[in-house]
């Protein structure tokens, strides 16, 4: 295993001082990024409180090939409520409970959305949050390492250094190993008629393109918030990280946040600490709304029901919950190339590859998620775009929510719906991602769902799980678009470059032909999440159900901000980690500026 020295210093309860300039709640992707940037000023003190522990440099965290194998102790035990539009199935909600949060356990796919994705945020009432505004922060967050010349020559990987970062803390690079069938994936999309962006990170993430991983090419290990934003700076005396402790609520004097209450993870003893300048919430989309609601910031009727004293009535807290639902497809390549993912079941080959990784940092152990991406606008998938867009447009927003839903939430959905439909019509956002690249089976992912879920507390016990409702497939047009995605995948397999490999679909089987039957299959077998929870403290105007404004300060209170994936108002067509780093980099600048 890589032997980078362990540098992290964590503090114990006894080391904590009475007050800090900033208390950051959650030492995950966004929280550690913000804490790093704020402690660049040696006169500012920061305490990060994190429920999880430091990982112990297990392969599961560091070795790309081991993604998805972190033991359960590094995850929260969260399950959704039964999803009524998904045959009442419940789903495990993946959220890392470890220093680094999602960045420690994710699939290391490191891409960005299209300019249209972020411009939707800006145009919904968030000046300063469009693509042009965020690009400098995407760049600031990363150091991009170009692929080696063999990869460029063999696979035709293209990249544009002018949109890449060259000195940021997170390393973005290509593994020195790619499965040969990835070439066929890229070629098949071209034959299908999709656009091929030169670099998907340029704001043009519409089509089939190459994308790096969050991978440090020096050691060929995961690059993530724990190493990049904590180990790297752990010796700063103005930064304290308290692990194994959970924040139970934000403390207020009137409507001014003054600090937090916290407890040993899973324990009952309560302690408090003061924040002189700001309490910064970065507990991730599942937990940030829970903390807000328990602190008295949330929907009035919910708080009243639980006898939680109201600090600010904010109906949007915990609403507008989004993720990327996906359908599973499968198939075979009768004439598969060698090596292929099926080699991973060959013990001899794997042992050779392990040795290759340990000795030369090469081979399949450097591979995490795929390096090819396909994010396709709706009109490239189907000729039913107008019909599907009209079906969404004719829906009554009020009918999307239970009776009694606050009018601002309904108005917010209507505004999002209209903006998304206009973006779909003009083809500036992707509707479907095909995740995979080296096999016939791919995840068909819905990028712009219009179903919305919620995350709410149903008890005042801060250690209980919140009630997680994905709102999965509640909007029937989402199902239609997933069906179009599966039909297009079948067509894709019939393209010459996939036929060269003898591609044959096995699931859904060819016997399922009608849209009606495919709809039924989607309802029965698709799932609500590829671990991209977002939107639960949305950055939107207050009259549209927003929780924070473009300055990320929570409405109705002062000295309290949110900086994690919760603020995303409309989920972008991308995996979320690089976007969360960019949000956090921008958040840090906003916080620094207002507390200078």
Q: Active-site residues: which are they?
A: 532, 575
For residue 376, the minimal CB distance to ligand FAD (Å) is 18
User: SS3 of 137, please?
Assistant: helix
Calpha distance 253→404 (Å, rounded): 31
Segment contacting ligand FAD by CB under 6 A, of 282-290, 300-308, 498-506, 545-553: 282-290
Among 45, 83, 103, 143, binds ligand FAD (CB under 6 A): 103
Quick one: 455 or 493, whose CB is closer to ligand FAD?
A: 455
For residue 344, the minimal CB distance to ligand FAD (Å) is 18
Quick one: 433 or 484, whose CB is closer to ligand FAD?
A: 433
Q: For the beta carbon of residue 494, count every other beta carbon within 10 angstroms.
A: 14
Among 86, 101, 200, 569, binds ligand FAD (CB under 6 A): 101
DSSP 539: B
First and final C-alpha spacing in the chain: 43
- Does position 474 interact with ligand FAD (CB under 6 A)? The reply is no
Q: Which helix (H) or strand (E) holds 33?
A: helix 29-38
Segment contacting ligand FAD by CB under 6 A, of 105-113, 174-182, 407-415, 499-507: 105-113
For residue 532, the minimal CB distance to ligand FAD (Å) is 5
Do the beta carbons of residue 283 and residue 26 sit within 8 Å?
yes
Among 34, 54, 63, 97, binds ligand FAD (CB under 6 A): 97
Do the beta carbons of residue 34 and residue 584 sit within 8 Å?
yes
Among 10, 22, 24, 27, binds ligand FAD (CB under 6 A): 27
Q: For the beta carbon of residue 513, count every other beta carbon within 10 angstroms.
A: 12
Calpha distance 311→308 (Å, rounded): 9
Alpha carbon 159 to its chain's center: 23
Q: What dihedral angle (degrees, nearest 10) is formed by the CA atoms of 305, 309, 310, 315?
A: -30
Among 24, 105, 444, 540, binds ligand FAD (CB under 6 A): 105
Segment contacting ligand FAD by CB under 6 A, of 84-92, 108-116, 448-456, 543-551: 108-116
User: SS3 of 180, please?
Assistant: coil
For residue 282, the minimal CB distance to ligand FAD (Å) is 5
For residue 463, the minimal CB distance to ligand FAD (Å) is 9
Binding mask 116-155 for ligand FAD (x = CB under 6 A): ----------------------------------------
Quick one: 68 or 502, whose CB is closer to ligand FAD?
A: 68
Among 22, 26, 295, 376, binds ligand FAD (CB under 6 A): 26
Segment contacting ligand FAD by CB under 6 A, of 101-109, 115-123, 135-143, 549-557: 101-109
Task: Dig out the tokens for 245 from the structure.
Answer: 């402790």
Task: Dig out the tokens for 508 from the structure.
Answer: 């859904």
For residue 108, the minimal CB distance to ligand FAD (Å) is 5
User: Which of positions 567-586 make contact with ligand FAD (CB under 6 A)?
Assistant: 575-578, 580
Cis peptide before 508 (omega within 30 of 0): yes
Cis peptide before 587 (omega within 30 of 0): no
For residue 192, the minimal CB distance to ligand FAD (Å) is 24
* Rg from Cα positions in the chain: 23
Q: Which residue has the closest beta carbon to ligand FAD? A: 28
Q: How many residues bind ligand FAD (CB under 6 A)?
A: 42
Binding mask 519-558 for ligand FAD (x = CB under 6 A): ------------xx--------------------------
Quick one: 111 or 133, whose CB is closer to ligand FAD?
A: 111
Segment contacting ligand FAD by CB under 6 A, of 16-24, 88-96, 184-192, 341-349: 88-96
Sign of the CA dihedral 432, 538, 263, 45?
Answer: positive
| Closest by Cα among 11, 489, 589 to 244 | 11
Residues annotated in a binding site: 98, 247
Residue 402 CB partners (closer than 8 Å, separation 6+):
none
For residue 315, the minimal CB distance to ligand FAD (Å) is 22
Among 102, 217, 397, 466, binds ligand FAD (CB under 6 A): 102
- Does position 282 interact with ligand FAD (CB under 6 A)? The reply is yes
User: SS3 of 345, please?
Assistant: helix
Do the beta carbons of residue 575 and residue 109 sit within 8 Å?
yes
For residue 368, the minimal CB distance to ligand FAD (Å) is 7
Binding mask 218-257 for ligand FAD (x = CB under 6 A): ----------------------------xx----------
Segment contacting ligand FAD by CB under 6 A, of 93-101, 164-172, 346-354, 414-422: 93-101
Calpha distance 429→448 (Å, rounded): 8
Calpha distance 522→3 (Å, rounded): 45
Quick one: 103 or 277, whose CB is closer to ligand FAD?
A: 103
User: SS3 of 257, please?
Assistant: strand
User: SS3 of 14, please?
Assistant: helix
User: Which of positions 35-54 make contact with ligand FAD (CB under 6 A)?
Assistant: 49-52
Per-position DSSP letters for 385-450, written without gaps between them: HHHHHHHHHTS-GGGGS-TT--HHHHHHHHHHHHHHHHHHHTT-S-SEEEE-SSSS--EEEESS--
Residues annotated in a binding site for FAD: 98, 247
Pairing relationship of beta strands 19-25 and 271-281 according to DSSP bridges: parallel
Quick one: 95 or 239, whose CB is closer to ligand FAD?
A: 95
Segment contacting ligand FAD by CB under 6 A, of 24-32, 331-339, 475-483, 485-493: 24-32
For residue 334, the minimal CB distance to ligand FAD (Å) is 30
DSSP 188: H
- Does position 29 interact with ligand FAD (CB under 6 A)? The reply is yes
Number of H helices, E strands in the chain: 17, 24
- Does position 369 interact with ligand FAD (CB under 6 A)? The reply is yes
| Closest by Cα among 285, 311, 314 to 298 | 314
Q: For the beta carbon of residue 195, count every other beta carbon within 10 angstroms.
A: 15
Give the interface with ligand FAD as residue ranges (CB under 6 A). Answer: 25-31, 49-52, 94-97, 101-103, 105-110, 246-247, 282-285, 287, 291, 369, 531-532, 564-565, 575-578, 580
């Amino acid at each position: 295993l890589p032997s980078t020295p362990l540098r992290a210093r964590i503090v114990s309860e006894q080391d904590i001082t009475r007050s800090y300039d900033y208390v950051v709640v959650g030492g995950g992707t966004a929280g550690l990024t913000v804490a790093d940037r704020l402690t660049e000023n040696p006169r500012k003190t920061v305490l990060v409180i994190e429920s999880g522990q430091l990982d112990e440099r297990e392969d599961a965290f560091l070795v790309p090939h081991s993604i998805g194998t972190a033991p359960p102790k590094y995850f929260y035990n969260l399950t959704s409520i039964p999803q009524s539009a998904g045959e009442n199935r419940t789903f495990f909600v993946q959220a890392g409970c470890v220093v680094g949060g999602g960045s420690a356990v994710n699939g290391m796919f490191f891409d960005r959305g299209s300019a249209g994705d972020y411009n939707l945020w800006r145009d919904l009432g968030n000046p300063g949050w469009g693509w042009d505004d965020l690009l400098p922060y995407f760049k600031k967050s990363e150091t991009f390492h170009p692929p080696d010349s063999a990869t460029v020559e063999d696979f035709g990987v293209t990249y544009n250094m002018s949109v890449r970062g060259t000195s940021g803390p997170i390393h973005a690079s290509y593994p020195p190993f790619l499965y040969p069938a990835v070439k066929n994936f890229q070629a098949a999309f071209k034959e299908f008629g999709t656009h091929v962006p030169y670099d998907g990170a340029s704001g043009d993430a519409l089509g089939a393109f190459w994308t790096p991983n969050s991978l440090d090419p020096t050691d060929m290990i995961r690059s993530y918030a724990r190493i990049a934003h904590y180990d790297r700076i752990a010796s700063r005396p103005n930064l304290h990280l308290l692990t194994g402790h959970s924040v139970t609520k934000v403390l207020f004097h009137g409507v001014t946040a003054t600090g937090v209450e916290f407890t040993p993870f899973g324990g009952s003893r309560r302690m408090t600490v003061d924040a002189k300048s700001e309490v910064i919430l970065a507990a991730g989309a599942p937990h940030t709304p829970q903390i807000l609601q328990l602190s008295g910031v949330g929907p009035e009727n919910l708080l009243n029901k639980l006898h939680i004293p109201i600090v600010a009535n904010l109906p949007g807290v915990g609403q507008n919950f989004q993720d990327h639902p996906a359908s599973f497809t499968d198939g075979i390549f009768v004439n598969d190339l060698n090596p292929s993912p099926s080699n991973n079941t060959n013990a001899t080959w794997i042992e050779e590859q392990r040795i290759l990784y340990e000795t030369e940092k090469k081979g399949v152990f450097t591979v995490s998620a795929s390096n090819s991406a396909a994010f396709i606008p709706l009109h490239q998938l189907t000729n039913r775009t107008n019909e599907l867009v009209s079906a969404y447009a004719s829906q009554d927003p009020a009918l999307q929510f239970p009776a009694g839903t606050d009018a601002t939430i309904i108005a917010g959905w209507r505004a999002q719906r209209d903006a998304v439909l206009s973006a779909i019509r003009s083809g500036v956002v992707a509707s479907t991602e095909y995740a995979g690249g080296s096999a016939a089976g791919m995840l068909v992912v819905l990028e712009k769902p219009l179903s919305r879920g919620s995350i709410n507390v149903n008890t005042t016990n801060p250690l209980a799980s919140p009630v997680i409702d994905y709102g999965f497939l509640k909007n029937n047009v989402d199902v239609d678009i997933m069906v179009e995605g599966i039909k297009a995948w079948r067509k894709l397999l019939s393209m010459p470059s996939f036929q060269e490999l003898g591609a044959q679909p096995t699931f859904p089987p060819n016997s399922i032909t009608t849209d009606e039957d495919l709809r039924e299959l989607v309802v029965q077998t698709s799932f609500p999440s590829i671990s991209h929870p977002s939107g639960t403290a949305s950055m939107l105007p207050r009259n549209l159900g927003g929780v924070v404004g473009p300055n990320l300060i929570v409405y109705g209170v002062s000295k309290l901000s949110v900086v994690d994936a919760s603020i995303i108002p409309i989920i972008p067509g991308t995996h979320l980690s690089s976007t969360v780093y960019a949000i956090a980099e921008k958040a840090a600048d906003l916080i620094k500026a207002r507390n200078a």
